[in-house]
Amino acid sequence: MVVSTAFWAGRRVLLTGHTGFKGGWLALWLRELGAEVCGYALPAPDGPSLWQVAQLHEQVPGTLADIRDTQRVSEAVATFRPEIVLHLAAQPLVRESYRAPVETYATNVMGTVNLLEAVRHCDSVRAMLVVTSDKCYENREWLWPYRESDGLGGHDPYSSSKACVELLCASWRESFLRESGIALATARAGNVIGGGDWSADRLLPDILRAWQAGQSLTLRYPQAVRPWQHVLEPLHGYLRLAQALVEQGEAVAEAWNFGPDNEGLVSVGELVERLARRWPDEARWSVEASEQPHEAGLLALDSSQARVRLDWRPRWTLQQAIERTLDWHQAWQAGEDMQSFSRAQIAAYQGETHE
């Protein structure tokens, strides 16, 4: 199964979170495939963002509003009448969830409820994909990767909120959507890197901000091991899964992991060292001495289900992901046309994924 232009051309796709990092890349890819995309998201934050730098407003119309606004969500779905709904809008940061737990649950949980309710009352929708997180699992710090059948949980409010989203999606699937003929799946991806991410309290943006300014980077969890992958890897999985939801329906309406191979499972410290070797100038870092909020020490995903049933697998190694990310950042610094550059990276990736 490949990402098919023939399938996506002309499809009406509602994409929430289109002004964000992953959402922006997915919006651009969908437009490259010929889909008719309508977005729903908060305005992009002030300062550089993929949405602003790559001029994505030229490609994706939509509603700039809060996913917590029940009426606006309902109106957006009813007006656009999509066939496929891809839900990426979220509060996506662990540390922010400690600072604003109520807002995190309201956005991630009740925002998803708002969208599910709007979708079940819209007879044009055939498939819906809700993106959660690899952190939705009850992390036991064990050595083997988590499978879709493993237990859900979450120490921090962000992780817990994503586990809640998984549970409510299962409930809406069984209670409402199946009888309406709407196939609903959830997707859990690893830690993504790529060009155009300027989020606060996220490793790659923190690295690039510090080193670009000639400053030393402060690491909070250098020993933490994560499943690192380029942003296009899970997006490729989302596109394959959404197509399968339309074509196979309930047969694939369940939870799916999209994580890297074992070579992408490295510590924060090792990732920083790899980036430093590729950085053209001096790259310095130190370890934060003060106590930090809890985050999982070891997290890995088992993506066997996606490999076997969707014929999905990672195509770029971790080193390739690092190089593509730094290439994008350096092109932006050089003043290149970043919409064209981003399109070229998507084209390069697609050239390696089409059989």
Q: Give residue-wise pLDDT tens across range 122-153.
A: 999 999 999 999 999 998 888 789 999 999 99
Output the six-digit token pair for 263.
């070579």
Burial classification of residue 317, based on how many CB atoms lie within 10 Å of its CB (0-12 exposed, 13-18 middle, 19 or more buried): middle
pLDDT score recorded for residue 221: 80
* Statement: residue 354 has pLDDT above 60: no
pLDDT score recorded for residue 2: 64
How far is 67 from 56, CA to CA, in rounded Å? 20
How far is 231 from 54, CA to CA, in rounded Å? 16
Output the six-digit token pair for 117.
């309710």
**Long-range contact list for 91-95, CB < 8 A, 24+ apart?**
91/158, 91/161, 92/20, 92/133, 92/158, 92/199, 93/158, 93/199, 93/200, 93/201, 93/202, 94/135, 94/156, 94/158, 94/159, 94/201, 94/293, 94/295, 95/201, 95/293
Is the distance from CB of 217 to CB of 242 less than 8 angstroms?
A: no
Q: In the 8-state DSSP scheme, what is residue 95?
A: H
Helix (H) or strand (E) holding 299: none
Q: Which of 70, 86, 21 is nearest to 50 (CA)?
A: 21
pLDDT score recorded for residue 125: 98
Output the six-digit token pair for 195.
């060009």
Number of H helices, E strands in the chain: 15, 12
Give residue 54's identity as a one-letter amino acid code.
Answer: A
Alpha helices in 17-156 (DSSP H): 21-32, 50-53, 70-80, 94-99, 101-105, 111-120
3-state secondary structure of 37: strand
pTM: 0.94
Confidence grade of residue 281 (pLDDT, cut at 50, 70, 90)? confident
> What is the rounded average pLDDT of the residues 47-67?
95
Q: Give residue-wise pLDDT tens across range 13-50.
A: 999 999 999 999 999 999 999 999 999 999 998 889 99
How far is 235 from 50, CA to CA, in rounded Å? 16
Percent over 70 (pLDDT), the chain:
97
